Amino acid sequence: MVGIVAVGGGQASFSFVQKLKALGHKGVITLVCSENCIPYQRPPLSKKFLLGDMKKEQLFLRPESYYQDNGINIVIGKQAVKLDINKRKIELEDGFKLTYKKLFLGTGSSPRKLPNKIINNAKNVYYVRNIKDIQAISKQFNSKRSLLIIGGGYIGLEMAAVARKLGLEVTIIEAQERILKRVSSEITASFFRNLHSKNGVRIRENVGVKDFIMERDHLKGVLTDKGENILADFFVVGIGIEPNVELAESAGLEIQNGIFVDDRCCTSNPNVFAAGDCANFPYQGERIRLESVGNAIEQSEVAANAILGNSAHYNALPWFWSDQFHVKLQIAGLNAGYTEVVERIDGERISHWYYRDGEFKSVDAINDPISYMVGKKLIERGQTPDPKNIRSVSFNVKSLLRG
| Contacting residue, 171, 305, 322, 351, with ligand FAD by CB under 6 A | 322
Task: State which residue, 289 or 344, has the beta carbon closest to ligand FAD.
Answer: 289
Q: How far apart are CA 355 and CA 351, in angstroms?
A: 13
In the complex, the smallest distance separating the C-beta of residue 389 from ligand FAD, rounded to whole angstroms, is 29
Q: How far apart are CA 383 and CA 363, in angstroms?
A: 13
In the complex, the smallest distance separating the C-beta of residue 151 from ligand FAD, rounded to whole angstroms, is 13
- Does the CA dihedral 365-369-372-378 come out positive or negative? negative
In the complex, the smallest distance separating the C-beta of residue 202 from ligand FAD, rounded to whole angstroms, is 22
In the complex, the smallest distance separating the C-beta of residue 16 from ligand FAD, rounded to whole angstroms, is 9
* 321 exposure class (CB count in 10 Å sphere: 0-12, 13-18, 19+): middle
In the complex, the smallest distance separating the C-beta of residue 396 from ligand FAD, rounded to whole angstroms, is 28
| Contacting residue, 4, 9, 67, 233, with ligand FAD by CB under 6 A | 9
The total number of residues written for the chain in this structure:
403
Ordered DSSP codes for 28-90: -EEEEESSSSS-B-SGGGGTHHHHTSS-HHHHBSS-HHHHHHTTEEEEES--EEEEETTTTEE
Residue type, 74: I
Nearest to 253 by CA among 242, 264, 266, 238: 266
Is residue 7 a contact residue for ligand FAD (CB under 6 A)? yes
How distant is the alpha carbon of residue 299 from its chain centre? Answer: 14
Tell me which residues in 134-163 interact with ligand FAD (CB under 6 A): 155
Is residue 320 a contact residue for ligand FAD (CB under 6 A)? yes
In the complex, the smallest distance separating the C-beta of residue 250 from ligand FAD, rounded to whole angstroms, is 10
In the complex, the smallest distance separating the C-beta of residue 214 from ligand FAD, rounded to whole angstroms, is 27
Per DSSP, the chain holds a count of helices (H) and strands (E) of 12, 25
Is residue 321 a contact residue for ligand FAD (CB under 6 A)? yes
Q: Where are the beta strands (DSSP E) in 53-208?
A: 72-76, 80-84, 89-92, 97-105, 109-111, 125-127, 146-150, 169-174, 202-205
Residue type, 272: V
Which one of the spans 116-124, 184-192, 274-282, 392-400 is the region binding ligand FAD (CB under 6 A)?
274-282
How distant is the alpha carbon of residue 233 from its chain centre? Answer: 27
Tell me which residues in 155-214 interact with ligand FAD (CB under 6 A): 155
Task: State which residue, 258 or 385, has the beta carbon closest to ligand FAD.
Answer: 258
Q: Binding-site residue total for ligand FAD (CB under 6 A)?
A: 37
Nearest to 346 by CA among 402, 398, 383, 390: 390
Binding mask 68-87 for ligand FAD (x = CB under 6 A): -----------xx-------
Is residue 109 a contact residue for ligand FAD (CB under 6 A)? yes
Tell me which residues in 352-381 interact with ligand FAD (CB under 6 A): none
Tell me which residues in 11-50 interact with ligand FAD (CB under 6 A): 11-13, 32-35, 42-43, 45-46
Where do contacts with ligand FAD occur on this chain (CB under 6 A)?
7-13, 32-35, 42-43, 45-46, 79-80, 106-109, 128-129, 155, 244, 247, 276-278, 291-294, 296, 320-322
